[in-house]
A and B are shown apart, each in its own frame.
Chain A
Amino acid sequence: MGRFAKLTGVLALTTALAGPALAATELSMWYHGAGGDSAERDTFARIIKEFNESQSNWEVKLQAFPQIAYNDAITAAAVAGKLPDIIDVDGPIMPNWAWSKYMQPLPIPEEKFAKFLPGTLGHWDGKLYSVGLWDAAVAMYARKSVLEENGIRIPTLDKPWTLEEFDAALVKLKDSGKFDYPLDLAMNDKGEWYPYAFSPFLQSFGGDIVDRSTYKTAEGALNGEAAVKFGNWWQSLFERKLAPGTSQDTGDHDTGFLEGKYALQWNGNWAALKPLDKFGDDMLFLPAPDFGHGPKIGAASWQLGISAASKHADGAAKFIEFATQDKYLAAFSNAIGLIPATAEAAQMTENYKDGGKLAVFYDLSAKQALVRPVTPGYVFAAKEFRKALSDIADGADVQDTLDAAADAITADIEKNSGYGH
């Protein structure tokens, strides 16, 4: 064998052996932000770039979907067996995807997330399936001058408004004659907003969407005494013209508080910067009222998880661990204004550090947040809850409507053999 032949043989063998070792394994990742906040996309792109450069075993490739179409795209991909390695999932939907075998538990010790806000961790069947880089919180938007002018006490986290106080404040604001409505609940948004924003009211009254002690029925929770009390009060808000009803115009919701048409607004931290810019120090973000069983707000936003179809769960887990470093939690918060998942990351941000403009939302999330029912049946139950609240607002009989919703949810749970509970 000639020297050239030997040399080429050695080169070929070296290349063949080195090839697989050098080539990074591709990890596909889907998320819901196509067309969304470019700062969010850029932050994801930065994390992915830095992860890919930080090691040579894995290369994450991002595919974005529009949020409205994302869940349907995941379902179709699951049917076709084409799920990616890493997915992002809305917190309350996660149990459904875990139960449907779209996702697998995270192969990461839970202690790594010990300092994360509770709402950022997605559990199902005792296992951690997803982790969020941020959480969201809702507060009662108000103006200090308006409350003082009307002699209304400014509530605090330690001493929120009671039902009686809150109701009296609304009546007083209405009687002032200065507002179209004293309270804007964003009734125009008929999506996930209803269960996210309004089920905490029901829970604070002592009811719930389902019975969380068993997750096998909604009877008693959604149509019991506490729930009916909530329903009656809810209906009265619209009967007494204290809040615009289901026919509210989107434009009115977007501009009403800023233009002084509404005195109070139940809104999330994602919309907080505009009124802060407009009203400055006069702007207040107040805690949820305590309707009898403690003040509550919703929790859990988008989280990262690993699809059941992934053959590279170890690589996907490495990426999730990498992405959940405090510096990235802070980067996301600075980019899109949401609440960073840890207190340490909060201190690294402009808005959520001590004394920051939105620091109050971190405290609200830490002290008042309650995740929506952790069950695969939530997807169905949320639709029934939404319909029931909409119907009651429109004047339907409270007991009958809640009974019908509870029956439908319970029947769905039974039809699905208890959803694994």
Chain B
Amino acid sequence: MSSRTPETRATSLFMRYAILVLVALIFVFPLVFMLVSSLKPSLQLLSDTSSIRAFLPVGNISLDNYTASFARAPVALFIFNSIFITSVTVVLNLVICSMAGFSFAFLDWKGKDVMLSVVIATLIVPLETIAIPLLLVVNNLPWVGLHGIEWGWLNSYRVQIVPFLSDALTVFLFVQYFRDLPRDLIEAARIDGASWFQIYAKVIMPISGPVIATAAILRFLAMYNQYLWPLMVTQSEQYRPVMVGLQYFFQLNTDWGQVMAYLSMITVPVLAFYLALQRAFITSIASTGIKG
């Protein structure tokens, strides 16, 4: 039996909400600063940083930084490129990695455990260490285009997509999630005569929303934030994504207002994607927490 009075419970609740609001503000402040700063001239933006004005839309407010951003760089092209590359990669990555995860979780084949260990071990290899060999590989790959067989994949969308169609983290996420699903589901489907592909497509994937959302968000962020690889493989402006485009704004005299306007614009797709999948993402995190 609790000895807490209604007053102490109210105080406790108030404190809890106060802390939550404080934490929320800490997370929201950078976004507010970015949005508000994108509306201010650079000199005002810099002088406002030393006071609360940094978070308030006060002073000389306009959309000039947005107009200037479009004049400085092909912003729409960069955003399109990033969304296209990221979307295609995420969708194909989820298909490939979920199939791999299904195989590791449910199918019996020789060397499965060793292979899974090898896949997971690749988690410790950062892209930077294999970037140069990977560049040499893609630079010598054939492609059948409008002009017949061409050699080398540089300056294309495919060179930014294909190397990332599978990754160890996503495979691992699917394996972990699939292993915790009830085996009865699989056995019932097998008794009903379903093929392994039917089980994958019609039984397992429909109940894997949370892990799909989690993997999608993680892959989306990783792909959308790509910088080194696209920089190495896209010499033509036509294929550059947003993070390479961001560098257009860092000049000898950087205009911070324009930087903030550009960041605000390229953040919109990320926020929209996260908000669309947040419920499933939180469900996945929550369910991960109660396992074990």
Contact A73 B252 (CB under 8 A): no
Is B49 within 8 A of A66, CB to CB?
Answer: no
- Say whether A72 contacts B231, CB under 8 Å: yes
User: Is B187 at the interface (CB under 8 A from chain A)?
Assistant: no
Q: Say whether, besides A35-B73, A63-B237, A64-B237, A69 and B139 are in contact (CB < 8 Å).
A: no
Pairs across A and B, CB under 8 Å, 14 listed: A34-B237, A34-B248, A35-B248, A36-B248, A63-B235, A66-B244, A66-B245, A66-B247, A67-B247, A79-B136, A80-B139, A249-B49, A254-B46, A255-B43
A82 in contact with B236 given A34-B73, A73-B231, A255-B46 (CB within 8 Å): no
Interface status of A81 (Cβ within 8 A of chain B): yes
Number of B residues, CB within 8 Å of A: 33
Within 8 A of A (CB), among B60-113: 71-73
How far apart sit A76 and B244, CA to CA, in the bound complex (Å)? 14
Instruction: Report Cα–Cα, A66/B78, bound state, in Å.
Output: 13
Q: How far is the CA of A67 from the CA of B246 in the complex (A)?
A: 11
Is A68 at the interface (CB under 8 A from chain B)? yes
Task: Let me know if A81 and B237 touch, CB within 8 A.
Answer: no
* Complex interface residues of chain B between 224 and 258 (CB less than 8 A to chain A): 228, 231-233, 235-237, 244-245, 247-254, 256
- Interface residues of A, count at CB 8 A: 28
Q: Which residues of B contact A81 (CB under 8 A)?
A: 139
| A380 in the interface (beta carbon within 8 A) | no
- For B247, the chain A residues whose CB sits under 8 A away are 34-35, 66-69
Interface of B is mostly: helix
Given A34-B237, A72-B231, 16 other A-B contacts at CB below 8 A? A34-B248, A35-B248, A36-B248, A37-B251, A38-B72, A63-B236, A63-B237, A66-B247, A66-B248, A67-B250, A67-B251, A69-B247, A73-B235, A76-B233, A80-B154, A255-B43
> How close is A291's CB to chain B, nearest CB, in angstroms?
27
A298 to chain B, nearest CB (A): 14
Is the CB of B47 closer than 8 A to any CB of chain A? yes
Shortest Cβ gap from A196 to chain B (Å): 12
Partner-B contacts on A (CB < 8 A) = 30, 34-38, 63-69, 72-73, 76-77, 79-82, 249-251, 254-255, 270-271
Q: Which of A68, A72, A80 has the most CB of B within 10 A?
A: A80
A389 and B248 CA atoms in complex are apart in Å by: 29
CA distance A186 to B154 in the complex (A): 39
CA distance A38 to B255 in the complex (A): 14
Q: Which residues of B contact A82 (CB under 8 A)?
A: 139, 152, 154, 235
CB distance from B246 to the nearest CB of A (A): 8
Does B132 lie within 8 Å of A69, measured CB to CB? no
Q: Is the CB of B232 within 8 A of A73?
A: yes
Closest to A81 in B: B139
In the assembled complex, the CB of A170 is this many whole angstroms from the nearest CB of chain B, namely 25
Please, how many angstroms separate the alpha-carbon atoms of A237 and B10 in the complex?
Answer: 57
Q: In the complex, A81→B136 CA distance in Å?
A: 9
Please name all residues of chain A whose beta carbon is closer than 8 Å to the beta carbon of B248 when the two chains form the complex.
34-36, 66
- Given A34-B237, A35-B247, A255-B72 contact (CB < 8 Å): no
- Partner among A64, A66, A80, A271 whose Cβ is within 8 Å of the Cβ of B135: A80
Q: Is the CB of A69 within 8 A of B244?
A: yes
Quick one: CB contact mask for B123-142 with A, threshold 8 Å, 1 for yes?
00000000010011001000
Residue contact A270 to B251, C-beta cutoff 8 Å: no
Q: Which residue of B lies closest to A33 (CB)?
A: B251
Q: Establish whether residues A69 and B154, one from each chain, have CB atoms under 8 Å apart when the complex forms.
A: no
Q: A64-B237, A69-B244, A77-B235 are in contact. Are A36 and B251 (CB under 8 A)?
A: yes
| A76:B232 contact, CB within 8 angstroms | yes
Nearest residue (CB) in A for B229 is A76
Q: Mark B152-177, 1 if CB is under 8 A from A, else 0.
A: 10100000000000000000000000
Q: How far is the CA of A79 from the CA of B248 in the complex (A)?
A: 24
Inter-chain CA distance A73–B235, complex, in Å, is 7
Kindly list the 9 A-B residue pairs having the minimum CB-CB distance in the complex, ordered from nearest. A35-B248, A251-B46, A66-B247, A76-B232, A80-B139, A68-B247, A69-B247, A66-B248, A35-B73
